[in-house]
Structure 1
Amino acid sequence: MPVAPPRPKPPALNALRAFEAAARLGGFAAAADELGVTPGAVAAHVKALEDDLGAMLFQRQPQGVTLTPLARRALPGLSEAFDRLGLAVQGLRAEAAPRTVHIATLPAIAQLWLSPRLPAIREGLPGITVSITALEAPPNLKRAPYDLSLFYRPPSEGRILAQDVIFPVCAPAMAARLHSPADLLAVPCLTDTAWAGDWAAWAAIALPGQEFAPRGPVFSLYALALAEAVNGAGVLIGHEALVRPALDAGTLVAPFAQRATLPCPLVLWSARPPRIGSAAARVAALLGG
């Protein structure tokens, strides 16, 4: 009579994924944000995995969690496995929808840089669909379902599309009141929360040795701050790649000659080079043109 003993049950994939994310990112809250679940769900998955293994993976402390030696040894292999799984899923998606390209980018880049280029892409690449997701932070392209990513990043991370050159911009009527950088103390200076350090970076060049604290409205959307600058509400630090259309149209002007170049240019990259001739490769070529 054949013997068919019960097979050991492997750990749940969701529990492994929760552990890997929490271990790699340093906590349950960061893992929850990446996985799109609650910190409580991550904690429950990790506890279930620990119960299944019969061993602790995290040391719980009031100030957070730390990895046990077992967890530190296991993390590299699991991270590599999930990276490879993510890339395999991306390849499957690309094969299933070979004429669709998914791009992840900042909201400001999507509205002010990418959107004006979409008509040329549609005209030059008929039959290819470009979908855009606006994100506040770059995704992990080895895991996330995006073909291309477009963010201000270190130049070593991808193909540079534009340097990040910044300088004040404002409506022409506002510019008439400005004769030197020191005049900014007398007018509203608009600030975007995502780039709160822009004014300091530019002032270090334009007002060396002087303390400068911008006073004026604060916005959480750069495109809205830009629209308010066009409306005459104040002076905004312009990122050249994003404000170039408004400068060319004359709705904004740059009242001062001083420029500052930030260390992270506008970079296009993917988890792996798009296959030659693929929809992603052809879209990337047009964006870089």
Structure 2
Amino acid sequence: MPVAPPRPKDLALNALRAFEAAARLGGFAAAAAELGVTPGAVTAHVKALEDRLGAALFARGAKGVQLTPLGARVLPEFTAGFDALGLAVHQLRAEAAPRVVHIATLPALAQLWLSPRLPALRAQMPGVEISITAMEAPPNLKRAPYDLSLFYGDQGRLVAEDEIFPVCAPALAARLTAPADLAALPCLIDSAWAGDWALWAAVALPGGFAPRGPVFSLYALAVEEAANGAGVLMAHGALVAGHLARGTLVAPLPQRVRLAQGLRLWSARALRAGQPVEQVARALLA
């Protein structure tokens, strides 16, 4: 009779994924956010994996978790493996739906920079579907289901340098002839880029400046309020270019500060010439 020994049970893929994410990101909460599950689910997956192995992968303490020597030794291979799996999934999606291009970007970039360019992109590439997802931080394109990411940073090809400078409605510009005049005007503050005022003031107002005015959690809303005459906004050049061109916003002061991280477009995989993703990327870079 043929011998058919029982096959050892495989380790659960979800448990391995939970371990790799928690180990790479340094905690169960961060892993849960990336995987779209609860921290409790990550904890349960990792505990089940450790029980199955009969060895600890994390040392638990009052200040969180740390990798054991075993966990640290195996992490690089799991990270490389899941990266490779993610890229293979990207390839599968691209082959199955080659006319769909998924872009992840900041909400402000989606509304103020990318949206005005979509009609021209659609006209250039009839039949190509461009999907936009707005998020506050760049996704891990080796794992997330996006073809391109458009964010301020240092990864990817440069689309535009990032300069900050004050802008306001034309009616307010007459009251802003020198940096010191800002003390008498409301200054619009974006909560995500609250430090922009200090960066600019360090160059234009070395004596120090504390902006006073309303705070916005949506940069696009702050731009609209600046155009409505509500105050002076510390603008990112690429995001207000349309308003400056139309004259709804003006930049009355000459002082500009160039930031180290520019607007960049990135893809986790090589783009093949002539494919929709490569065409969209080339159009955006142009």
Measured against the shorter chain, the TM-score band is over 0.9
Q: Distance in 1 between matches of 2:211 and 2:7?
A: 66
Amino acid at match of 1:238: A
Q: Distance in 2 between matches of 1:130 and 1:3?
A: 55
Q: How does 1:193-204 map to 2 (within 5 A)?
A: 193-204=191-202
Q: How does 1:56-95 map to 2 (within 5 A)?
A: 56-95=56-95
2:133 is paired with a residue whose SS is strand
Q: Distance in 1 between matches of 2:173 and 2:63?
A: 50
Amino acid at match of 2:26: G
1:238-279 deviation line (CA, Å, top 9, x unaligned) = 111010100111111111000000011000110022111110
Question: In the TM superposition, what is the alpha-carbon distance from 1:69 to its structure 2 partner?
Answer: 0.2
Q: Distance in 2 between matches of 1:193 and 1:48?
A: 41
Amino acid at match of 2:184: A
- The equivalent residue for 1:267 is 264
User: CA RMSD of the aligned region, Å?
Assistant: 0.8
TM-score by length of structure 2 reads 0.98
Q: Distance in 1 between matches of 2:8 and 2:260?
A: 52
- The equivalent residue for 2:221 is 224
TM-score by length of structure 1 reads 0.97
Q: Distance in 1 between matches of 2:48 and 2:21?
A: 15
- The equivalent residue for 1:165 is 163
Question: In the TM superposition, what is the alpha-carbon distance from 1:3 to its structure 2 partner?
Answer: 2.6
Q: Distance in 1 between matches of 2:270 and 2:192?
A: 29
- Consecutive aligned runs of 4 or more in structure 1 exceeding 6 Å deviation: none
Q: Distance in 2 between matches of 1:19 and 1:193?
A: 34
**How many residues were matched structurally?**
286
Q: How does 1:1-289 map to 2 (within 5 A)?
A: 1-154=1-154, 157-208=155-206, 210-289=207-286
Q: Distance in 2 between matches of 1:273 and 1:77?
A: 22
Amino acid at match of 2:166: P
Q: Distance in 1 between matches of 2:64 and 2:156?
A: 34
Question: In the TM superposition, what is the alpha-carbon distance from 1:23 to its structure 2 partner?
Answer: 0.3
Q: Distance in 1 between matches of 2:9 and 2:188?
A: 58
Amino acid at match of 1:116: P
1:123 is paired with a residue whose SS is helix
> Is there any run of 5+ residues in structure 2 with no aligned partner, and where?
none
Question: In the TM superposition, what is the alpha-carbon distance from 1:78 to its structure 2 partner?
Answer: 0.1
Question: In the TM superposition, what is the alpha-carbon distance from 1:141 to its structure 2 partner?
Answer: 0.6
Question: In the TM superposition, what is the alpha-carbon distance from 1:5 to its structure 2 partner?
Answer: 2.1
Question: In the TM superposition, what is the alpha-carbon distance from 1:177 to its structure 2 partner?
Answer: 1.2
Q: Distance in 1 between matches of 2:178 and 2:210?
A: 16
> Is there any run of 5+ residues in structure 1 with no aligned partner, and where?
none
